[in-house]
Amino acid sequence: MDYAQDFSIAVSLGSDRARIFLCGELDLGSVATLHARFDENFLNRGVDHRSVIMLDLGDLTFCDAAGLHALWDLADKCRRLGTTLRIVNLPPNIRRVMELTDTLDQFNIDIDLRAADHAAPTPTD
């Protein structure tokens, strides 16, 4: 059974910023997909540097402990790259998971509500 079928990612790259849209369920079955797409777009492009990577969770419906750990891993990768990971459009249920696990303050969270110039593209995974 392919658990990653309930998860998709779309990436929008700008000259100085990037936006990653997550859709569906971020859990043990989908974190490998998230890491692979992140690494493909940001770690494997040595000269590609962005000052901010926005992680749009507006369409994320579920996040378990493995998903939360993956978000923390992405924030850590961004710190090592010298870039900022900013989580935007945090759904109330995911915020609650972060509150219950006392991890909310470990992330850079902003409201955003999908600025007009950042409509969600069609996911590719």
Q: How would residue 70 be classed by pLDDT, with cut points 50, 70 and 90?
A: very high
Alpha helices in 65-119, H assignment, sequence order = 65-81, 92-100
Q: Which CATH class is domain 3-118?
A: alpha beta
Give this prediction's pTM.
Answer: 0.84
For 19-69, the pLDDT digits (tens) are 999 999 999 999 999 999 999 988 876 546 788 999 999 999 999 999 999
Which residue ranges make up each domain of the chain? 3-118
Structure tokens of 122?
Answer: 């069609």
Strands, E, within the chain: which ranges? 7-13, 17-26, 52-63, 84-88, 108-110
